[in-house]
Amino acid sequence: MKKKVNNIRFLPFCSRFVLTLSHNNQSTITNMKKQLNKIIAGVSVALALYGCANQTTSFDEIVANRRSVRSYDKTQKVSEEQVRTLIATTQEAPSWANVQATRYYVVMSEEKLNEVLPSMLANQEKASTAPVLIVTTYKQNQSGFFNGEAANEAGNLWGAYDAGLSNAFLVLKAKEMGFDTLIMGLRDADGLKKALGIPSDETVMTVVALGYGNQVPKRPDRKPLDEIMKIK
């Protein structure tokens, strides 16, 4: 009599396996399942290492999905290693004559977060939920200067400009890493300098909240392109 067979098909990511197993041999089925689990594990590792399953997020998607998030889940921590990766990315930003005048003061400990919180003024409530606050400064008389003299009428505004470029890299890299951010300009610069030991020759610009947001803000309206761009 012809034995009845059962076809079991499995498609792990990029490969397809077809197994034909006999109903009358349970031990064979059990052994094959064990071998199959090993194959699945091996294929999964290989795909992760060699990119068979490509999950890369495009730059346009990162830009489109970035939001200014005003509330965070403080129970989800950010590691020092992750912060180092994030700040290292800002070093790739362009700057005046490559002077790299932007500086970052990363506040992560509970004690220091509580110390700087009063300096956040009207942003205290928003800042209090973030597990990390990043204070951005720039060293004066570097960007926009040659031989100690301002290169043009903008002077130290070039330092602020370069800090903005660095922060653009920061918030976009943060989004790529799965974090949310909020750039805050309402702050007490003197209070932050005292709490963090920021030198007098540095100008405090922004404080960036970093963490995992517990809200998803809608995309704000943008001005028409022709209102902000003129082609001559």
Q: Which of 185, 208, 183 is nearest to 105 (CA)?
A: 208
Written as one string, the DSSP assignment of 9-39 is EE--TT--EEEEEETT-HHHHHHHHHHHHHH
Distance CA 33, CA 112 (A): 54
pLDDT digits (tens, 9 = 90+) for 121-142: 999 999 999 999 999 999 999 9
pLDDT digits (tens, 9 = 90+) for 159-184: 999 999 999 999 999 999 999 999 99
The pLDDT of residue 37 is 61
Distance CA 184, CA 209 (A): 8
All residue ranges of the chain with pLDDT < 70 are 1-55
Q: Which of 16, 15, 14, 26 is nearest to 6 (CA)?
A: 26
